[in-house]
Amino acid sequence: MLEARALRDAFGAFLTGVTVVTTTNEAGAPIGFTANSFTSVSLDPPLLLVCLAKTSRNYQTLTTARGFAVNILSEDQKDVSNTFARPVEDRFAAVAWTPGPFGSPVFSDVAAWFDCSMHERIDAGDHVILVGRIEALENTGKTGLGYARGGYFTPAATEKDLLSNVEGSLSIGAVAERAGEMLLVPAASSGWTLPFVDRAESEGMDVLERQFADEIGLQIQTGLLYSIYEDTKTGCQHIVYRASLGAGTAKVGRLFPLHDLPFAEISDSAVRETVKRYAQESMLGNFGIYFGNHEKGRVHAVAKKGDA
């Protein structure tokens, strides 16, 4: 017989995002609770699921509701997560929200929200699985809040730690995509490469976004880390982000379809493998982070497409 606390702690080793699940009760009042047992299910039809404990005070309302919303909290919304995880009298007074297109409360400043109709309820031990059909959504481009081992983590904190541990020169780049196309810029010698900028010691990661705006003439929304490696020949550390590319025409470089990238014209082997891996992972919908050096390393699978 497994001990419940040990099982709970083991489940807690899995890194997750943080959501607030919301709906309205029979009187039309909003209700919600913090949950990290959320996952995407299907693209066609568009389905997701959340798990709800049968002991939850929201059990009766959620299992009889016509629908529910899932609000994926952004990295600066730890206070919202804490509010909806505790027995606060008026949780919704602490957050800006509006009724979603299908009727459930959706929050402002979240990474994304999904307003769903109830598709199916599945009994699952001491929980019930609520499968929602996505009727409307918004993806703001913000980075989500993470949770593991009973504590929060954010990419901003990870980034700060990463920068503090970097010795020597640092070059920051981006795999910048828009509508299935990737931006490549002319390499110093010949051919193509990813956009990189050398970061001065006094500068932060926003130096990359400034370069895109000033030199390339496009806005980007940087997302999750994609590759961290050292060029063993020069000693330079490279950090590559996944990024969403804004509208407009690039003053420098060219957009290439992900299915027709010029691998043979990318002379830098590390960049070529990064670009090739992104094209492959984009087709599968699963992305990872590469850790290593210019020649060899390891890819850690950490996220599904649409999480950056």
Q: What is the pLDDT of residue 305?
A: 39
Distance CA 129, CA 63 (A): 9
CATH architecture of 154-301: Alpha-Beta Complex (3.90)
Q: What confidence score (pLDDT) does residue 200 get?
A: 61
Give Rg (Cα) of the chain. 22
Report in angstroms the alpha-carbon separations of 49 from 37, 55, 154, 234, 249.
Answer: 8, 18, 23, 48, 39
Quote the pLDDT of residue 306: 37
Rounded to 5 degrees, what are φ and ψ at 163?
Answer: -65, -35
Euclidean distance between CA atoms 80 and 216, whole angstroms: 37
Residue 122 confidence (pLDDT): 96
- 212-245 burial, b for 16+ CB within 10 Å, e for fewer? beeebebebbbbbbbbbbbbeeeebbbbbbbbbb
Q: What is the pLDDT of residue 308?
A: 35
φ, ψ of residue 130 in degrees (nearest 5): -100, 115
Write down the pLDDT at residue 302.
Answer: 53
> In the chain, what are the domain boundaries?
4-151, 154-301
Homologous superfamily (CATH) of 4-151 is Electron Transport, Fmn-binding Protein; Chain A (2.30.110.10)
Q: Which segments of the chain have a pLDDT < 50?
A: 303-308
DSSP single-letter state for residue 190: S
Q: Are the C-beta atoms of 73 and 19 separated by less than 8 Å?
A: yes
Report residue 224 as tokens: 């999750």
pTM of the entire predicted model: 0.58
**Residue 230 DSSP SS3:** strand
Residue 97 confidence (pLDDT): 96
Residue 57 sits at the vertex; the CA angle it makes with 52 and 60, to the nearest 5 degrees, is 70
